[in-house]
Structure 1
Amino acid sequence: MIRFNFNVNYNYRPETTVILAMSADGKISDYQRSPARFGSPQDKVHLEEQVALVDAVLFGAGTLRAYGTTLPVTNPQLLQQRQQQHLRDQPIQIVVSASGNFSSQLRFFSQPIPRWLITTAEAAKLWQQRQQFEQILVTDLIQLNPWQTIFKQLKKLGINRLAILGGGELVASLLKENLIDQLWLTVCPVIFGGKDAPTPVEGKGFLAAQATNLELISVKQIEQEVFLHYRVKRSPVD
């Protein structure tokens, strides 16, 4: 595992890595936002390896609704690795949703994984009397820079390493608050096209002067896919 220290104060927040597969034209789904199942079995192995390194996985409600499930760690070697590192058998799966509006019948809720929810006070009422979530973190997701506060709370709860699995709106929000440290992007041999097809970073976007600059750490090709590992370049004041 490659670990970096870029003058980031991890004493107050988790170390974060975005892990996404995208088409050759930079889309993470088609224009209907269908579940993105275009990655190869090798990409799934790569995803599981990266997920096995972290304390928790964070993803938006749109991602949960699209897939209805998540990827648990099943590889015996990776499970043993986690045990040796004194980690839970499975990373905590953290859903973020302002509305809390998703079905409790999704297969996600029958998987043998720990589940947390980040939501608003109003939406938390939908789930507080149920048993699906081990922990519900209540916050104002509309406020300015809410993720600084949320990440401080996650750190206090023992989350030191965090994987971000999408969607693009969540990644954009975290980039805006300078809370992304690394990215793993798998480039897959398919083109979706279309102005409405989602990309790894959604939202309004950033002007060139505010763009996030990256440093390429490694490039690996497996058959028809390319695995790109970046770290976010930070100024000395970050």
Structure 2
Amino acid sequence: MYVIVNAAASADGKLSSRRREQIAISGADDFARVDRLRAESDAVAVGVGTVLADDPHLTVKDDELRAQRREDSRPANPARVVVDSSGRTPTDAAILDDAATTYLCLSEAAPVDRRMELAEEAELVTAGDDRVDLLRAFAALQEQGIEQLMVEGGGELIFSLFEAGLVDELRVFVGPTIIGGRDAPTLADGEGFVAKFPALDLEAVDRLDDGVVLTWRVDDR
């Protein structure tokens, strides 16, 4: 599986404010770029924190892009993936509607009653004891035909994916604003690396809206 992490960050590397409220960092051109990337992907993934904070739909917005997917004998929208170790995804979350298949990646720590409730709304992938074992979960997703996975956040999931060595490409729109705040989420939160920092090879720098899109390949040497 080829994993692309895509994010919009402020000039100081924040994804949102310390209140974890959604902030418009990029503009129309970047929204269109993200929509194209969604349309190119087999699935789009987020962590449960993003679901709880933003209630995203994660569908393709452009009619022509959806039509092109249908012409290619693909569903109008890519599948959606939520990494949710303890089963906190609300059963009325937008990501669980019938616009596309949704996979919930849970751990064995998710209560049985929650799993039963969520199984009525989504396809469940259970991997790991206390936390989702991302290597096993992603292998299971690949068995479902997902070859390109786009990850849209948040910082905890992104860090975990880098930690597991699962990221192939990183694309970041860096916007012309400063958010600040030691408690504001960054591109990669989690525990942080103290050694063996993931190395990136810069592939492209493209000006867009009033910011830039930086594209890196992950150097796994």
TM-score, with length taken from structure 2: 0.91
Q: Number of residue pairs matched?
A: 219
Q: Does 1:180 align with 2:162?
A: no
Matching residue of 2:142 = 155
Counterpart of 1:136, as a letter, is L
CA–CA distance in structure 1, aligned partners of residues 137 and 33 of structure 2: 28
Matching residue of 1:215 = 201
CA–CA distance in structure 2, aligned partners of residues 49 and 111 of structure 1: 21
Matching residue of 1:80 = 67
Provide the secondary structure at the position in 2 that maps to 1:77.
Answer: helix
Q: 1:216 to 1:92 in 2, by over 3 A?
A: same
Matching residue of 2:151 = 164
Q: How does 1:1-238 map onto structure 2 within 5 Å?
A: 14-110=1-97, 112-121=99-108, 122-123=110-111, 125-129=113-117, 131-133=120-122, 135-140=123-128, 142=130, 146-207=133-194, 209-235=195-221
CA–CA distance in structure 2, aligned partners of residues 166 and 217 of structure 1: 21
Map Cα deviations across residues 114-158 of structure 1 (whole Å, 9 max, x no partner): 21111123345314245321x111121536x92221121111111
Contact 2:26 2:209 (8 Å CA) reproduced: no
Q: 1:102 to 1:150 in 2, by over 3 A?
A: closer
CA–CA distance in structure 1, aligned partners of residues 133 and 86 of structure 2: 16
Contact 1:219 1:229 (8 Å CA) reproduced: yes
Q: 1:110 to 1:158 in 2, by over 3 A?
A: closer
Mark the runs of 5 or more structure 2 residues left unpaired by the alignment.
none
Q: 1:195 to 1:116 in 2, by over 3 A?
A: same
Residue 168 of structure 1 deviates from its aligned partner by: 0.9
Map Cα deviations across residues 47-74 of structure 1 (whole Å, 9 max, x no partner): 1111111111111110011111223113
Provide the secondary structure at the position in 2 that maps to 1:125.
Answer: helix
CA–CA distance in structure 1, aligned partners of residues 94 and 156 of structure 2: 24
Counterpart of 2:200, as a letter, is L
Contact 2:38 2:44 (8 Å CA) reproduced: yes
Percent identity among equivalent residues?
29
CA–CA distance in structure 1, aligned partners of residues 57 and 213 of structure 2: 21
CA–CA distance in structure 2, aligned partners of residues 153 and 108 of structure 1: 20
Map Cα deviations across residues 75-97 of structure 1 (whole Å, 9 max, x no partner): 23322332344322111111111
RMSD, aligned α-carbons: 1.9
TM-score, with length taken from structure 1: 0.85
Contact 1:98 1:123 (8 Å CA) reproduced: no
Counterpart of 1:46, as a letter, is R
Contact 1:54 1:163 (8 Å CA) reproduced: yes
Mark the runs of 5 or more structure 1 residues left unpaired by the alignment.
1-13
Counterpart of 1:132, as a letter, is E
CA–CA distance in structure 1, aligned partners of residues 94 and 166 of structure 2: 30
